[in-house]
Amino acid sequence: MEIPLFAAGSILTITILIVLGTMGIPDGGRTISDDGNNKLVIITSVAPITNIVKNVVCEKVDLIGIVPEGVDSHTFEPTPSDAIRIRSADLVIINGLNLEVSFERIVDAAKEDNPRIQLLKLADNTISHEEWIFDFSFPKEKGDPNPHLWLNVAYVIRYVELIRDKLIELDPDNASYYAKNAEQYIARLRMLDEGIMRAVQSIPVENRKLLTYHDSWAYFAKRYGMKVIGAVQPSDFGEPTPQEVARIIEQIREENVPAIFASEVFPSKVVEQIAREANVKIVETLADDVLPGRVGEQEHTYIGMMLENMRSIVVPLGGNVDALHGIDPRDVCNG
């Protein structure tokens, strides 16, 4: 059988990339990064995870987040140059629970050439199978639980502990540095967790319901006492059928919610149609993968994202965010 030309081309490209990817890595030693230092090289996936890691490591490692902000992390595939970076890292930190399967494949393949590469899957080490949540866009029959643990701040505190412990293991010379950063960051996360709890409690009980486009609020809702009544996005990350849309509209009317939620990463005409027909307010500023503001701005952090999310959720549902005033969104390294 003849190999189609494009397939042969891809095989050649992959071979070249594999060769390139293994160049310049000293055997068994630590990666020497571009500027000649011998810092650890850590690769992360989505922006909130990158920022959480940043708060533990600050400037002590070379930290590279691969998934660009504003890109759907559920369908993201690393580019060939991303794959090269992943292959030559010391440590790859991902959310896990099958959010970044493509990263895992690359790390597995890299082990032969780069035996020191380690993979840390945060969510898999934070909750047990019994605590997995399957729901609207992540149904049990598909096998992958909802992976969005990082919208529950208590779970993020566990993420920080896992990151700290792994860094201390890989770089014991800087153990007290990582421990101190983690301690400061956890203190701030505890304030955020408590503030969110109180802000949600300010919403009238009958309004503590979430209907979102992207189904990322399961673990948030469970911790903070809200109910996810549905998600618009089907499990194949496409658009819902007209029958599903009709059912959602009916449900919104029955549940009598004042607002439904979407995000800029998942623009959907369907949500606008649903809001119009169900006669509810639509809030399109929820975020789970995108940090607010621009790189370098104070609120361009995981904590900044959660504060922004709380303003987006709590106020339209009739509550207030007074309990969150004074929480510093800045990275602890800069604070």
Instruction: Pick between residue 97 and residue 199 the one whose CB is nearest to Zn ion.
Output: 97
CA 122 – CA 126 distance, rounded (Å): 6
Smallest gap from residue 61 Cβ to Zn ion (A): 26
As measured in angstroms, the least distance from the Cβ of 278 to Zn ion is: 24
Of 124, 144, 126, residue with least CA distance to 134: 144
- From the list 233, 138, 232, 170, the residue with the least C-alpha distance to 38 is 170
Specify the residue, 100 or 288, whose C-beta has the smaller distance to Zn ion.
288
Q: How far apart are CA 247 and CA 193, in angstroms?
A: 34
Binding mask 174-213 for Zn ion (x = CB under 5 A): ----------------------------------------
Nearer to Zn ion by Cβ, of 31 and 216: the residue is: 216
| Phi, psi dihedral angles at 279 (to 5 degrees) | 60, 50
Binding mask 248-287 for Zn ion (x = CB under 5 A): ----------------------------------------
Q: How far is the CB of 45 from Zn ion (least distance, A)?
A: 11
CA distances to 86, 163, 171, 290, 296 from 120, in Å: 13, 8, 15, 22, 26
Q: Quick one: which of 250, 282, 277, 280 has its CA closest to 267?
A: 282
Give CA–CA dist 263/235, Å, rounded.
17
Q: Considering the complex, state which of residue 39 and residue 148 has its C-beta at the smaller distance from Zn ion.
A: 148
Smallest separation, CB 126 to Zn ion (Å): 17
Interactions with Zn ion, residue window 107-146 (CB under 5 A): none
Cα Rg for the chain, rounded, in angstroms?
A: 21
Minimum CB separation from Zn ion for residue 247, in Å?
Answer: 22
For Zn ion, the binding residues in 209-228 under the rule CB under 5 A are 216
Number of residues that bind Zn ion (CB under 5 A): 2
> Among all residues, whose Cβ is closest to Zn ion?
216
Q: Which is nearer to Zn ion, 44 or 216 (CB)?
A: 216
Q: What is the x/- site pattern for Zn ion, positions 285-304, by CB under 5 A?
A: ---x----------------
User: How far is 189 from 324, CA to CA, in rounded Å?
Assistant: 12
Q: How far is the CB of 270 from Zn ion (least distance, A)?
A: 17
Whats the size of the chain, residue-wise?
335
**Which is nearer to Zn ion, 133 or 278 (by Cβ)?**
133
CA atoms within 13 A on the CB side of 229: 21
The contact set with Zn ion (CB under 5 A) reads 216, 288
